[in-house]
């Protein structure tokens, strides 16, 4: 990482944010476990680059050993929920062929019942929240499904923040000279003061050179689909 | 014009209706208040074609019975469909088909597989599968899936409207969470959420949409792959209950349009029927 004081400050901010987001995820998992009286609760992050689910937060059984463990994204109940983007409640997973028994055994804890809910942020499916083994005599209710959805929203926001700060950290650690240049420009602008006429002229010139931001143009991947009618 | 000519079916106006034409618009005599007996008494869903757009359907499951046709998507850009010999790769579609059959045992079931092994699926494949089913003019399309991607919403809206006006009712799962997803939010589909009561024919009309009907969706023993059954909860499984009830109604009243079908469902819903004087 650069020795530039500005870069160090930015990196410190990013790193502390990562810790805070991890604490937030742990808090969501712990609260979900407590509210549902469950044996454990886990939050998985979907890593698009490797197409894997990663244990990001674990409360209860497995909390010490599972963080960072990776599973194929198509594995088990979590994989199904990730793709269908619908929550699922199964009383006895051993009867469900989607349940990845081998993966569960590998994690050291084999649950009987699972509540799993996708973590959706805007249009993306960021991961999965699972609550394992509610009390055996407690009948599942639709109100619990609603409650699980509320927790999922909270966890999704925390996951989104985690992903953003990690990308920022990776960019800094990558030592890309472009980021050092951006840091230098930011520092000089800060020193000159936002009201400076020179700053305004510089920003206007930059806007002319750069043109509209990527987000202003509709990319091919996001272009709305049109109906094709058969002849 | 002769009397015989007056009785002949006449093409209905598209955008306007004169008093003369209105006098000729005949609708079959509906009872002043329809009952469940009138709506589906004696029906088994025979003659009704149902597409299950999902993960495939296990053709050998005893609780599903015969699957008349199974297709999957080849090239989604060309809406290319191929014969599907994979059956069901995870169980979800088999559960939906089994629930429909448990209510309407003689309906035809066609599997349209849009999810693959390892649950891989993509928006374009889902769209192509649904588009094929709409173009094939099935009576009913069960869709216990939805997408949260806005880029598909306009396309899905068009598809849903085309289906509705071509006498195909898309029965779609509402999302179980407070998120925007499609196509269940469109008024031209029949959207379904879960209630927690017993009885496959217990369903409720919701006067406060977007979810229009609630059907059983809690602790259901449903068929799964490998000839098994599994206890599941969720709107995915409430939806085929409504598809099954629709199949019963259309088996007895095949002439009903989606609008009329929704009207019959409203009139026979548990909360409406029980509240009637």
| Residues in chain A within 8 Å Cβ distance of B118 | 72, 74, 79
- Are residues A86 and B150, on separate chains, in Cβ contact within 8 Å? no
Beta-carbon contacts of A146 under 8 Å, excluding residues fewer than 6 positions away, are none
- Residues 8-47 on B with a CB inside 8 Å of A are none
Both structure tokens of A109: 């804890």
N-to-C CA span, chain A: 60
Say whether pLDDT at B19 is over 50.
yes
**pLDDT tens digits along A27-63:** 999 999 999 999 999 999 999 889 899 999 999 877 7
Query: ipTM score here?
Result: 0.70
Determine the pLDDT at residue A185: 72
Q: What does the buried/exposed string (b/e) look like for B45-54 if buried means 16 or more CB atoms within 10 Å of the residue's CB? A: beebbbbbbb
**Shortest alpha-carbon distance between residue B233 and chain A (Å):** 6
CA–CA distance, B233 with A120 (Å, rounded to integer): 20
Give me the residue from B120, B151, B218 closest to A74, CB to CB: B120
Greater model confidence, B73 or B12:
B73
Both structure tokens of B140: 């009913």
Determine the pLDDT at residue A221: 54
B230 to chain A, any CB pair closer than 8 A? The answer is yes
- Residues 98-157 on A with a CB inside 8 Å of B are 98, 117-118, 120, 123, 125, 139-142, 145, 149-150, 152-153
Q: Which residue of A has its CA nearest to B151?
A: A224
Task: Give CA B140 to chain center in angstroms.
Answer: 4
How many CA atoms are closer than 13 Å to the CA of B111, on its beta-carbon side? 34
Burial tier of A222 (Cβ tally within 10 Å: 0-12, 13-18, 19+): exposed
Which one of A82, A88, A100, A142 would you mutate to disrupt binding with B, by most B Cβ within 10 Å of its Cβ? A142
Q: What would the DSSP string read from start to end of B165-204?
A: HTT-EEEEEPPSSSS--BTTTSTTSEEEEEE--S-TT--E
Q: Which of A157-161, A178-182, A219-223, B100-104 has the highest mean pLDDT?
A: B100-104
CB A157 within 8 A of CB A54: no
**Shortest alpha-carbon distance between residue A156 and chain B (Å):** 12
The pLDDT-based confidence of B2 (bands split at 50, 70, 90) is: very low
Handedness of CA A62, A67, A68, A72 (dihedral sign): positive
Q: Residue A144, Cβ neighbours under 10 Å: how many?
A: 18
Greater model confidence, B131 or A211:
B131
**Shortest alpha-carbon distance between residue A95 and chain B (Å):** 6
Q: What would the DSSP string read from start to end of B200-227?
A: TT--EE-SS-SS-EEEE-SSEEEE-GGG
Beta-carbon contacts of A175 under 8 Å, excluding residues fewer than 6 positions away, are A1, A2
A196-200, B208-212, B241-245: the lowest-pLDDT one = A196-200
Taking CB atoms and an 8 Å cut-off, how many pairs form between chains A and B?
124
CA–CA distance, B169 with B6 (Å, rounded to integer): 32
Q: Residue A20, Cβ neighbours under 10 Å: how many?
A: 14
Tokens 């007056």 belong to residue: B6
- Are residues A80 and B176, on separate chains, in Cβ contact within 8 Å? no
| Residues in chain A within 8 Å Cβ distance of B192 | none
- Are residues A227 and B236, on separate chains, in Cβ contact within 8 Å? no
| Residues in chain A within 8 Å Cβ distance of B194 | 142, 145
CA–CA distance, B100 with B64 (Å, rounded to integer): 8
CATH architecture under which domain A5-171 falls: 2-Layer Sandwich (3.30)
**pLDDT tens digits along B44-100:** 999 999 999 999 999 999 999 999 999 998 777 777 789 998 888 778 899 999 999
Residues β-bridged to residue A120 = A125
Stretch A133-154: mean pLDDT:
83
Domains and CATH numbers, chain B: 35-275 (3.40.50.200)
Q: Where in chain A are the domains?
A: 5-171, 176-211
B185 to chain A, any CB pair closer than 8 A? The answer is no
Nearest to B163 by CA among B192, B203, B200, B133: B133
| Residues in chain B within 8 Å Cβ distance of A118 | 177
CA–CA distance, A204 with A207 (Å, rounded to integer): 5
A218 to chain B, any CB pair closer than 8 A? The answer is no
């Amino acid at each position: 990482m650069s020795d530039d004081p500005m870069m160090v400050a930015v990196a410190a901010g990013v790193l502390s944010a990562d810790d805070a987001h991890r604490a937030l995820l742990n808090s969501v998992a712990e609260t979900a476990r407590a509210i549902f009286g469950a044996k454990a609760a886990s939050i998985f992050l979907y890593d698009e680059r490797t197409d894997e689910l990663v244990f990001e937060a674990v409360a209860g059984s497995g909390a010490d050993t599972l963080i960072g463990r990776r599973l194929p994204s198509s594995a088990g109940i979590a994989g199904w929920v990730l793709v269908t983007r619908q929550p699922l409640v199964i009383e006895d997973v051993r009867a469900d062929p989607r349940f990845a028994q081998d993966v569960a055994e590998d994690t050291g804890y084999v649950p009987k019942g699972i509540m799993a809910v996708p973590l959706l942020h805007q249009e993306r499916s960021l991961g999965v929240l699972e609550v394992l083994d509610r009390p055996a005599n407690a009948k599942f209710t639709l109100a619990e499904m609603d409650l699980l959805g509320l927790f999922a929203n909270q966890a999704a926001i925390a996951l989104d923040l985690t992903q953003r700060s990690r990308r920022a950290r990776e960019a800094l650690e990558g030592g890309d000279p472009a980021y050092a240049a951006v840091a230098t420009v930011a520092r000089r602008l800060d020193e000159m003061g936002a009201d400076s006429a020179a700053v305004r002229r510089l920003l206007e010139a930059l806007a002319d050179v750069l043109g509209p931001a990527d987000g202003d143009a509709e990319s091919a991947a996001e272009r709305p689909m049109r109906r094709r009618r058969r002849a | 014009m002769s009397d015989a000519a007056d009785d002949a079916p006449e093409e209905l106006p598209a955008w306007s209706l004169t008093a003369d034409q209105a006098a000729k618009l005949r609708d079959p005599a509906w009872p002043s208040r329809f009952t469940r007996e009138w709506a589906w008494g004696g029906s088994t869903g025979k003659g009704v074609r149902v597409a299950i757009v999902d993960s495939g359907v296990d053709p050998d499951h005893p609780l599903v019975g015969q699957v008349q046709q199974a297709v999957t998507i080849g090239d989604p850009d060309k809406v290319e469909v191929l014969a599907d010999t994979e059956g069901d790769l995870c169980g979800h579609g088999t559960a939906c088909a089994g629930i429909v059959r448990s209510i309407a045992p003689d309906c035809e079931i066609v599997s349209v597989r849009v999810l693959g092994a390892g649950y891989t699926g993509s928006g374009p494949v889902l769209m192509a599968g649904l588009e094929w089913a709409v173009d094939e003019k099935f009576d009913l399309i069960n869709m216990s899936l939805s997408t949260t991607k806005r880029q598909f919403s306009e396309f899905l809206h068009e598809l849903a409207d085309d289906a509705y006006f071509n006498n195909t009712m898309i029965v779609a799962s509402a999302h179980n969470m407070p998120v925007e997803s499609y196509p269940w939010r469109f008024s031209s589909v029949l959207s379904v959420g879960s209630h927690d009561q017993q009885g496959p024919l217990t369903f409720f009309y919701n006067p406060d949409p977007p979810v229009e009907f609630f059907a059983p969706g809690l602790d259901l023993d449903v068929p799964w792959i490998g000839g098994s059954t599994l206890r599941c909860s969720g709107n995915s499984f409430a939806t085929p209950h409504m598809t099954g009830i629709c199949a019963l109604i259309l088996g007895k009243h095949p002439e009903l349009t989606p609008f009329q079908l929704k009207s019959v469902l409203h009139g026979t819903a548990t909360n409406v029927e029980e509240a009637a004087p």
